């Protein structure tokens, strides 16, 4: 199998050159895919990124590819195996493949890569300019090959290819040298002149041996040419000599260009001057130890500095502290305004807070919206508390980003040496534990680590494990709170509410175990369990009573924004046999507004199934009423916070009247939650509310306690019936 750029011609029809180059990026790191797309995108060039070798092969079956950037380390098929599969297809035998690797390029790895068809290697962290240059050059060579296949005359093909290549070669910072089939130099670019010191006039007509340094013997060059003749290419590090006599290292890539008879007509050498390795090491250091967005030290540098500071603190019997600082509600800003605005805000935060710390302190960005502050040489814990509080106060001052003003809040968790740990790992872990507690106890708070906090965190982990098992083993149960019609006073529906009686800890409040489920990634499984069991119970009621009973189930944000949620609902309805009209899905107002367009599509799909849709906790979110008519909903549930102070609070009464009037104008029904007094009931009846739910009628009860209520013809005194 040859990797040579083979030039062919044919009198049969050949499709014209594509309008744009297509670069296929194969890397399992989502951040690296984004970086590569950003670096490589240009006019007349399309960049497609996939996360595995299998995905790359599937995509290439139906699409044209000009060049492949292939990560060596991939899940499933690795880079070498993927390259072998690509080369196994005849139409990709000449396709340029460039390997990306985070591993040092040993001769064994290089040989393995070239044996499966690689054209070149690029090391991570990436040199942006080098990447652009190599991709441009190989794309140019690829386009040259395609262009030459269209031509009928070999001489005009070669001249046109060199003309097209000259544009890229002439302006590339990499040296380029083109020889004829005998190895005589026929063209060089400006970078060649700059690196070697030889002018174009001095180089043309000479052999590449003009640059020989004397460090390589004849056997080395013999092997080079043998490889070039057999495979059509040679890659490696070589020492050459400039015109002034200085010997320098370079990475050289030689490619043979063959004519339609398969005979080498030209050789193209592309080389990078490696004498600037100090600058390269500096770039690698910057990439390894500093956050690219903010320029702050990253997690690795913070950890390294913490280890050094610990040794000094131990020697000098001093204290030091580590504080983790997490911006509150940053995700909402990011989702609302977009990632570019979020990135700009993080940069502004970094700039402001970095200016507030001492020179001996280290202010770093760990990831996302989490920053860290390392404070050495402390007198006592109050020093770090004062400094951390000062930083949180600085965040409250307006930050202007992209024409918008932000007032931020943050939470902080602090661990102190030696009380909270004597190793960098322990202090990292304990600061993170303290931060979790600070977030739990409320925004804009500071928490110090204590042993009690560690115990509480461990209990939280155990609770997660117990909840996971409870979901799998039916260790949960459902309670049902009745919903009553104010039209005829009949029980028309129930809201299904998850309950958990822990074997050791007794009844766990819903707000606690639901929060645990969300943090542990169990909310989807919990929501599906509730949906399945509530629907099955609805079927049982329907089988034993002569009238249908609507079952309302709360939907989590995870379920709503899962693209396949409507499939889950359809499956559960089919498996249980519950009529779709007997199922109501309750979605909070704030969830609706997180991703409006996607939410509208999801609601339309659920509406098409025939289920009822309601907005829960209406009035507590931040939606615009202009969006309300776009959502495929049937009902609005007024939050209990507006009902509890009726009729004492005239403002709440005005809000409820307005909501009911607005809903009815949109042909939506209204349910009032938290109804507990006769006075509240009287007001809601006069306001023409459609349904009520609350302790005045019934608290949440077991399923078997619903049946007696269904047997009653009128479950509420007739005097409350509207009209």
Q: What is the pLDDT of residues 466-506, one digit of tens each?
A: 898 998 888 899 999 999 999 888 899 999 999 999 888 88
CA–CA distance, 557 with 333 (Å, rounded to integer): 17
Residue 10: its pLDDT value, please? 35
Q: Are 111 and 86 in contact (CB under 8 A)?
A: no
More confident residue, 385 or 601: 601
Phi, psi angle pair for 173, to nearest 5°: -75, -10
- Structure tokens given for 168: 């890229």
623, pLDDT greater than 90? no
- The pLDDT tens digits of the residues spanning 19-55 come to 789 999 999 999 889 989 988 988 888 999 999 999 9
Is the pLDDT at 317 greater than 80? The verdict is yes
The residue with tokens 């070239």 is 114
State the number of CA atoms in the 13 A half-sphere of 612 facing the CB. Answer: 24
Q: What is the pLDDT of residue 723?
A: 47
What CA–CA distance (Å, rounded) separates 559 from 513?
17
Query: If you average pLDDT over residues 72-76, what whole number do you get?
Result: 89
- Structure tokens belonging to residue 115: 């044996």
Condensed to tens digits (0 to 9), the pLDDT of residues 260-270 reads: 888 889 999 99
Residue 463 clears pLDDT 90, i.e. is over it: no
The class (CATH top level) of 293-449 is alpha beta
- Which of 288-302, 623-637, 678-692 reaches the highest mean pLDDT? 678-692
User: Can you give 306-360 as a three-state secondary structure string?
Assistant: HHHHHHHHHHHCCEEEEEEEEECCHHHHHHHHCHHHHHHHHHHHHHHHHCCCCCC
pLDDT at 301 over 70: yes
The radius of gyration computed from the CA coordinates of the chain, to the nearest angstrom, equals 35
User: First vs last Cα of the chain: how many Å apart?
Assistant: 88
- Return the pLDDT at 350: 92
Please check whether residue 478 is in contact with residue 681, taking contact to mean a CB–CB distance below 8 angstroms.
Answer: no
For residue 373, is pLDDT > 90? yes
Angle formed at CA 634 by CA 632 and CA 636, multiple of 5 degrees: 110
* Residue that wins the pLDDT comparison between 353 and 102: 353
- What percent of the chain is modeled with pLDDT above 70? 87
Q: What is the mean pLDDT of residues 650-667?
A: 91
Q: Does 718 have pLDDT greater than 50?
A: no
Give the residue-averaged pLDDT of 109-117: 81
pLDDT digits (tens, 9 = 90+) for 415-434: 989 888 999 999 999 999 89
Summarised one tens digit per residue, pLDDT across range 147-180 is 766 664 566 655 666 666 666 666 777 888 999 9
Mean model confidence pLDDT for the chain: 84
pLDDT of residue 443: 59
Count of CA atoms in the C-beta half-sphere (13 A) of 287: 15
Q: What pLDDT, on a 0 to 100 scale, did the predictor assign at position 108?
A: 72
Averaged pLDDT, 283-300: 81
Strands 45-50 and 21-26: parallel
User: Of 150-154, 191-195, 246-250, 717-721, where does mean pLDDT reach its minimum?
Assistant: 717-721
The fold of the 484-496+521-718 domain, in CATH, is: TIM Barrel (3.20.20)
Tell me how far apart the alpha carbons of residues 568 and 566 are, in angstroms, rounded to a whole number. 5
What is the mean predicted confidence (pLDDT) over 216-236? 89
Q: How many residues can be counted in the chain?
A: 723
User: Domain coordinates of the chain in residue numbers?
Assistant: 5-279, 293-449, 484-496+521-718
Report which of residues 494 and 247 the model is more confident about: 494
Contact criterion met (CB below 8 Å) for 77 and 44: no
Enclosing H/E stretch for 101: strand 97-101
CATH number of the structural domain 5-279: 3.30.450.20
pLDDT class of 551 with cuts at 50, 70, 90: very high
Structure tokens at 636: 């609005």
pLDDT at site 540? 92
């Amino acid at each position: 199998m040859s990797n040579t750029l083979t030039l062919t011609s044919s009198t049969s029809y050949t499709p014209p050159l594509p309008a744009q180059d297509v670069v296929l990026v194969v890397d399992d790191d989502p951040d690296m895919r984004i970086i590569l797309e950003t670096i490589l995108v240009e006019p007349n060039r399309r960049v497609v990124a996939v996360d595995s070798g299998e995905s790359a092969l599937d995509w290439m079956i139906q699409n044209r590819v000009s060049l492949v950037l292939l990560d060596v380390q991939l899940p499933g098929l690795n880079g070498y195996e993927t390259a072998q599969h690509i080369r196994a297809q005849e139409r990709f035998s000449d396709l340029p493949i460039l390997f990306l690797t985070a591993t040092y390029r040993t001769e064994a790895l290089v040989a393995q890569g070239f044996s499966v068809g690689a054209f070149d290697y690029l090391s991570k962290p990436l040199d942006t300019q080098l990447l652009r240059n190599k991709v441009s050059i190989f794309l140019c060579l690829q386009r040259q090959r395609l262009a030459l296949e269209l031509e009928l005359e070999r001489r005009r093909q070669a001249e046109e290819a060199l003309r097209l290549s000259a544009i890229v070669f002439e302006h590339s910072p990499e040296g380029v040298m083109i020889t004829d089939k005998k190895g005589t130099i026929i063209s060089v670019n400006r970078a060649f002149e700059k690196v070697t010191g030889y002018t174009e006039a001095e180089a043309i007509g000479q052999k590449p041996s003009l640059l020989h340094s004397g460090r390589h013997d004849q056997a080395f060059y013999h092997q080079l040419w043998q490889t070039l003749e057999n495979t059509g290419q040679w890659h490696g590090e070589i020492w050459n000599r400039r015109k002034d006599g200085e010997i320098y290292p370079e990475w050289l890539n030689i490619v043979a260009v063959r004519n339609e008879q398969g005979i080498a007509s030209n050789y193209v050498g592309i080389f990078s001057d490696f004498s600037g390795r100090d600058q390269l090491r500096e770039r690698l250091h910057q990439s390894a130890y500093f956050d690219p967005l903010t320029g702050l030290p990253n997690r690795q540098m913070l950890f390294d500095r913490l280890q050094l500071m610990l040794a000094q603190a131990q020697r000098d019997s001093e204290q030091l502290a580590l504080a983790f600082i997490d911006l509150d509600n940053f995700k909402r800003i990011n989702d609302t305004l977009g990632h570019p605005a979020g990135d700009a805000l993080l940069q502004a935060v970094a700039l402001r807070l970095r200016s507030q710390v001492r020179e001996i302190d280290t202010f770093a960005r760990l990831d996302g919206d989490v920053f860290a502050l390392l404070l050495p040489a402390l007198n006592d814990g109050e020093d770090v508390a004062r400094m951390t509080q000062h930083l949180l106060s600085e965040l409250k001052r307006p930050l202007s980003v992209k024409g918008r003003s932000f007032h931020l809040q943050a939470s902080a968790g602090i661990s102190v040496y030696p009380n909270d740990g004597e190793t960098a790992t322990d202090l990292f872990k304990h600061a993170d534990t303290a931060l979790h507690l600070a977030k739990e106890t409320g925004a804009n708070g500071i928490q110090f680590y204590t042993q009690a906090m560690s115990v509480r965190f461990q209990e939280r982990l155990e609770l997660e494990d117990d909840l996971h098992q409870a979901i799998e083993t039916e260790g949960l149960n459902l309670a049902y709170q009745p919903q009553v019609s104010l039209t005829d006073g009949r029980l028309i529906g129930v809201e299904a509410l998850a309950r958990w009686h822990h074997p050791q800890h007794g009844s766990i409040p819903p707000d606690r175990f639901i929060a645990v489920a969300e943090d542990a990634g169990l909310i989807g499984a919990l929501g599906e369990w509730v949906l399945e069991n509530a629907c099955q119970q609805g079927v049982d009621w329907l089988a034993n009573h002569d009238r249908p009973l609507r079952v309302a189930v709360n939907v989590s944000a995870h379920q709503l924004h899962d693209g396949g949620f409507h499939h889950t609902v359809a499956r559960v309805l089919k498996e249980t046999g519950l009529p779709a009209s007997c199922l109501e899905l309750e979605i909070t107002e704030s969830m609706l507004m997180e991703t409006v367009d996607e939410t509208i599509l999801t609601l339309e799909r659920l509406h098409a199934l025939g289920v009822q849709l309601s907005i829960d906790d209406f009035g507590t979110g931040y939606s615009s009423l202009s969006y309300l008519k776009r959502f495929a909903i049937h009902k609005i549930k007024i939050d209990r916070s507006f009902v509890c102070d009726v009729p004492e609070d005239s403002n709440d009464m005005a809000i409820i009247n307005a909501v009911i009037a607005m809903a009815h104008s949109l042909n939506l029904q209204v349910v009032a939650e938290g109804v507990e007094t006769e006075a509240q009931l009287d007001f809601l009846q006069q306001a023409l509310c459609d349904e009520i739910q609350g302790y005045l009628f019934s608290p949440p009860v077991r399923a078997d306690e619903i049946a007696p209520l269904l047997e009653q013809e009128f479950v509420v005194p007739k005097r409350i019936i509207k009209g």
